[in-house]
Every structure is written in C-alpha cells, then in structure tokens.
C-alpha cells in the first residue's frame, strides 16, 4: 500500500507512476484518498477542539458548585453533554473517512521504479541479458508432454481422474526428479545465506492482504470457505507474513529466508498452448527466496537475487534470458520486476520460470513491517523482495525437451547426485 505521506507530498509523481502502470482512474483514486484524508484531519481537529472545551467547562463546573451556583453548573453540564454527543458523531465521521481512505488505498497498485520501461504488455518487456546455448534438436524432436507419456513419467489423465485438469500425477523417476530439483534449489539457497523455513500452505485473510494478493487476486486463489482460509499461490505469502507487525533491528538486515512449497492457482481464463502439458498448472512445486531489507540497500539485494537465480539456470545448463518488465506487464505490488525465461527447444518458445521483484515499502506498509535505526532509534518501513528460485514445472519441461534422446532424457550433471540416475526413462532404478 502506498503511504499517505508519499501521496500527499508527491502527488503528481504518484499519478504519473500509476499511469505508467496503466492503472485506470489514477488521478481520481489519488484525489479520493486526499479528500478522505482532509475530512479525517478536519474532523480530528474538531474533536480535539471539543475535548479542550469540555475540559475547560468541566473545571468551571467544580468551581461553580463550590460557590453554590448550581443552576449555572447544571447549564454548563448540559453544554458538556451536547459536546460529548457531538463527539460521538464526529468520531463516526472520522472512522468512516479512515475506512473509506484505506479501502481506496488497497485498490491502488504500487508505482514503478524509474528504471521500469514504458509499455502496455509483455511485447514491450526489455531483454537485459541472455545466457546459455540453445540445443540443436532433430526434426522429429518431441514436446515434453509426448516425452513424458512415451517414458511413462507423468500421467495427466490420472490427475484428471483424481482431481481435475492441471493436477498431474508424477511417476517413478519423475517423482524422484521433482524431489531432486527441490533439494538442489534449497541447498543452493542455503549456500547463499538463506535460512530455510517450512511454512503453512494455507493463510488467513490478513496474510493475503499483507502481501497484496487480496483484494487484487482473490479470484485466482483457492478459498476454503468454511474456515475462511486461502491456499497459497506462492510461499512468498506465508514467509513474508512472518514479519507482519514486527519491528526489526537495523543490524539484523537484510533478513533472508527460503522455502519450498506446493503452490495453488486457479488460473481462471487460461487457455490454448499456454496450458499444454506442464506449461500451466493449478498445483506445482516451487522454492521461493524472500528478503527484508532497509531502503538504501534493497536494490543491492535485488541484484544479488538476480545473480542467484541466474546461477541456478547456468548450473542446469539451460538457455535463458532475463527481461525487465514494462509498466503495463508488472504485478499489482511490485516496484520493479525481472522475469527469467528458459528456452523450450521442441516448443520453440520461451517459458517463464522465475520472477524477481522489489516491492520497496509497498508490502511493508500493508504488513506494518518496520526496522529500528541503530543510531537514532528512528523507526522506518522496510523494503521487501522475493523471487522464484525456482518454479519446477516449466524448468522440467525445458530440461525434458532440451535433453531428449531416443533412449530417454539426459539429467543435468548437477542433479545426478540428487536423484541417483543419469537418464529419465521408464526403467525402474
């Protein structure tokens, strides 16, 4: 959530930033916030004035009673009662203005960093780096969904039988390969200084509001109505919410956490080639890295996170490129976002496998996540960051397609110690 201070002091910059993100009705939303704030402050001033007057009158009542001037004292008591009644009405006005202002603030996205390029959609994203070598596959190369079926590694039909489309069943070596990837990603995160946590897979409404999934993306989340809990779309939500309503010490920053979790996404409205095979699932596994940092260091943290994710792709021997997302393609909460995409050789297309974002103080303001300066003990909002490191389904799709042979799929060397075999095939091992 944008801070009221930022909106009040840099109104035009906020509006321009929201327009860069293609947020409809930017000026109207900002003006509503400022109007509710003015009403709130004016009402607060009236309340303060009333309180002062009540205190003055109350002191007079005592003196008048001592002097035996009961009628005058009673008259002043009536005036005090009227002021108290007015207080109640003013309090209601102020509380409503505060609620209305907060409701509007929750609908306003974060504003983009100056380095975010202009643009409306994914076609305007900017490639900032490329790496790896695209494989030269034979003309009869298969897409991953055919390879998975050929070597009996994933059964999509059984997943439909058990649950529905988008919930595949992993079999034999592929189940072990999934665990190998998870362990590899977690080990690499630990080597980079991230403390591993195992979070809950469901969260309450406050957690969803804290990281910005609610109210913006509630239609994309699975909701357990009876308990009013949400299945997590990413471990970012529970891990970042560890620090909700916390005041951290400056010397403890940056805080670095990582977590493996299953992720659940309704993906409403998805269709076509994007949902074939492992390209888009309702349930998938992912390792997430999260940082809490002070503002002046958060972009150095972002660079370190980008290097970490790039290092994973290099070790997996995957061709990749890094995109800086344009204003119109960024998420609701991010101030800047980089997507990592890997080349899927048989599909001949790029597949997104990671997003790494700096939210600056936007999430922290919702979370009330702050830190205390070591010198003057001043308390300030933190910056929050997170990134996929990495999401499994499309990583698996690219590995399967890029490393296919007639006998099976070659396992990247770095993963062999984790899974205990060199080829993904239907042979029992």
What pLDDT score does 75 carry?
Answer: 77
Q: Is 354 annotated as a binding residue?
A: yes
Q: Is 234 annotated as a binding residue?
A: yes
pLDDT(67) > 80: no
- Burial label for 100, CB within 10 Å (0-12, 13-18, 19+), is middle
Whether domain 4-107 has CATH 3.90.320: no
What pLDDT score does 274 carry?
Answer: 73
Distances (CA, A) of 74 to 60, 61, 87, 329: 11, 8, 20, 67
What pLDDT score does 271 carry?
Answer: 60
Read off the pLDDT of residues 170-225 as tens digits, 9 standing for 90 and up: 999 999 999 999 999 999 999 999 999 999 999 999 999 999 999 877 789 999 99
Sole residue written with tokens 């660079």: 303
Instruction: Reduce the DSSP state of residue 270 to 3 states and report it.
Output: coil
290 confidence band (pLDDT: 50, 70, 90): very high
Tell me phi and psi for residue 116, to 5 degrees. Answer: -70, 125
How far, in Å, CA of 76 to CA of 71, rounded? 9
* pLDDT above 70 as % of the chain: 97
What pLDDT score does 268 carry?
Answer: 66
Retrieve residue 71's tokens: 């009628």
Half-sphere exposure of 336 (CA within 13 A, CB side): 17
For the chain, residues classed under CATH 3.30.930.10 are 122-424
Q: Please calculate the CA angle 298-301-304 and round it to the nearest 5 degrees.
A: 160
What pLDDT score does 97 carry?
Answer: 97
Q: Is 353 annotated as a binding residue?
A: yes
Instruction: Reduce the DSSP state of residue 342 to 3 states and report it.
Output: strand
What pLDDT score does 269 carry?
Answer: 57
122-424: CATH number: 3.30.930.10
pLDDT(326) > 70: yes
Q: Please calculate the CA angle 214-4-381 and round it to the nearest 5 degrees.
A: 75
pLDDT(112) > 90: yes
Q: Is 267 annotated as a binding residue?
A: yes
Q: Is 386 annotated as a binding residue?
A: yes
How far, in Å, CA of 324 to CA of 358, rounded? 12
How far, in Å, CA of 259 to CA of 195, rounded? 8
What pLDDT score does 244 carry?
Answer: 98
For the chain, residues classed under CATH 1.10.287 are 4-107
429 confidence band (pLDDT: 50, 70, 90): low
Read off the pLDDT of residues 366-390 as tens digits, 9 standing for 90 and up: 999 999 999 999 999 999 999 999 9
Q: Is 401 annotated as a binding residue?
A: no
* pTM of the full structure: 0.93
How far, in Å, CA of 399 to CA of 270, rounded? 24
Q: Is 414 annotated as a binding residue?
A: no
């Amino acid at each position: 959530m944008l801070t009221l201070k930022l909106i009040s002091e840099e109104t035009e910059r906020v509006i321009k930033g929201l327009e860069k993100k293609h947020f409809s009705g930017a000026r109207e939303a900002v003006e509503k916030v400022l109007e509710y704030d003015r009403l709130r402050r004016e009402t607060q001033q009236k309340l303060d004035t009333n309180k002062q007057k009540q205190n003055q009158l109350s002191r007079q009542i005592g003196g008048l009673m001592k002097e035996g001037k009961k009628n005058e004292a009673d008259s002043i008591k009536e005036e005090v009662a009227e002021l108290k009644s007015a207080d109640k009405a003013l309090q209601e006005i102020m509380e409503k203005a505060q609620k209305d202002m907060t409701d509007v603030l929750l609908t306003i996205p974060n504003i983009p960093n100056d380095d975010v390029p202009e643009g409306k959609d994914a076609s305007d994203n900017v490639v900032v780096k490329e790496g790896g070598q695209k494989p030269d596959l034979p003309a009869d190369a298969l897409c991953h969904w055919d390879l998975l079926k050929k070597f009996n590694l994933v059964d999509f039909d059984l997943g439909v039988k058990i649950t529905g489309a988008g919930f595949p069943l992993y079999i034999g070596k592929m189940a072990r390969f999934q665990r190998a990837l998870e362990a590899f990603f977690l080990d690499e995160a630990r080597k980079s200084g991230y403390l591993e946590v195992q979070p809950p897979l469901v969260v309450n409404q406050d957690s969803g509001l804290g990281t910005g999934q609610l109210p913006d993306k509630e239609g994309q989340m699975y909701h357990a109505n009876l308990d009013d809990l949400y299945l997590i779309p990413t471990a970012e939500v529970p891990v970042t919410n560890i620090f909700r309503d916390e005041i951290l010490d400056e010397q403890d920053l940056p805080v670095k956490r990582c977590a493996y979790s299953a992720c659940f996404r309704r993906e409403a409205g998805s269709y076509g080639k994007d949902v074939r095979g492992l390209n888009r699932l309702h349930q998938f596994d992912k390792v997430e890295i999260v940082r809490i940092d002070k503002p002046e260091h958060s972009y150095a943290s972002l660079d370190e996170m980008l290097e970490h994710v790039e290092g994973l792709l290099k070790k997996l021997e995957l061709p990749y490129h890094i995109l800086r997302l344009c204003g119109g393609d960024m998420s609701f909460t991010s101030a800047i976002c980089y997507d990592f995409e890997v080349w899927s050789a048989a599909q001949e297309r790029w597949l997104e496998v990671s997003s790494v974002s700096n939210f600056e103080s936007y999430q922290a303001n919702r979370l009330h996540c702050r830190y205390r300066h070591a010198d003057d003990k001043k308390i300030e909002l933190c910056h929050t960051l997170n990134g996929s490191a990495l999401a499994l389904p499309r990583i698996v799709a690219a590995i399967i397609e890029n490393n296919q042979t007639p006998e099976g799929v070659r396992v990247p060397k770095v993963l062999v110690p984790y899974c205990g075999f060199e080829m993904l095939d239907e042979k029992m091992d």
